[in-house]
Structure 1
Amino acid sequence: MNKQKALNMLGLAMRAGKLVTGEEMTVNKIRSQKVKLVLLAGNAGKSTQKKVKDKSTFYQVPFADCFDSTEISQAIGRKRFVVGVLDSGFANKIQELISS
């Protein structure tokens, strides 16, 4: 997995304004079907994980939980456990990097 490249891409998406961060805002954007990919910290709380995974599954939004909150926070410059990627180009590239 090209973890560092995926995190760099996440930081780039943040600077481009193509991310929504935080549990509630991400869930709201999932409901409005704007999110293309959800990144969930593996060390997030059980209720947060369940809520985000259930919403992602219901609305057929791919999600990944291969990063921890420290990695996500360093990549985007804010302490977060949940991040939604709004741009399909960034989402596809990040998925490609974490699956390789």
Structure 2
Amino acid sequence: MNNRQRTLNLFGLAQRAGKLVSGEALVLQSVRSNKAKIVCLASDASNNTSKQFLNKCEYYNVPLVVEFTREELSHTLGKDRTVCALIDDGFKHSLQKLL
């Protein structure tokens, strides 16, 4: 199993543990409230979505990962999603080790 698959599995595990939020509105809310530890944005997200999350993450000093496609994120989370955020430091550190 490569690191890419392990990273996607980490997102699934975090979701089952309740330590992941997904969807544009919920992720924006978690970034603004300083709950998001790291944000993952689909590489094929629209220009507006990409710009919005790039600006918000930069302003609130939240790391942003643009590593996976929308299809990969959606398949992993079981929902059609373009963006997700980890809200736990432990999962954040695990993700950073894999990347």
For residue 24 of structure 1, what is the aligned residue in structure 2?
25
Shift of 1:74: 1.2
- Whole-Å Cα distance in 1 between the matches of residues 29 and 36 of structure 2? 9
TM-score (norm 1): 0.94
For residue 40 of structure 1, what is the aligned residue in structure 2?
41
For residue 71 of structure 2, what is the aligned residue in structure 1?
70
- Whole-Å Cα distance in 1 between the matches of residues 54 and 3 of structure 2? 23
Unaligned runs of 5+ in 1: none
- Whole-Å Cα distance in 2 between the matches of residues 37 and 74 of structure 1? 20
Q: Percent identical across equivalent pairs?
A: 41
Shift of 1:95: 1.7
Which SS does the other structure have where 1:57 is aligned? helix
Letter of the 2:47 partner, please give it.
K
Superimposed CA distance per residue, residues 40-97 of structure 1 (whole angstroms, 9 cap, x where no aligned partner): 0000000000001110010000010010011111111111000011011111111210
Superposition CA RMSD, Å: 1.0
For residue 84 of structure 2, what is the aligned residue in structure 1?
83
- Deviating beyond 4 angstroms after TM superposition, the runs of 4 or more aligned structure 1 residues are none
For residue 6 of structure 2, what is the aligned residue in structure 1?
5
Which SS does the other structure have where 1:93 is aligned? helix
Residue correspondences, number: 98
TM-score (norm 2): 0.95
- Whole-Å Cα distance in 2 between the matches of residues 20 and 12 of structure 1? 12
Unaligned runs of 5+ in 2: none
For residue 58 of structure 1, what is the aligned residue in structure 2?
59
For residue 15 of structure 1, what is the aligned residue in structure 2?
16
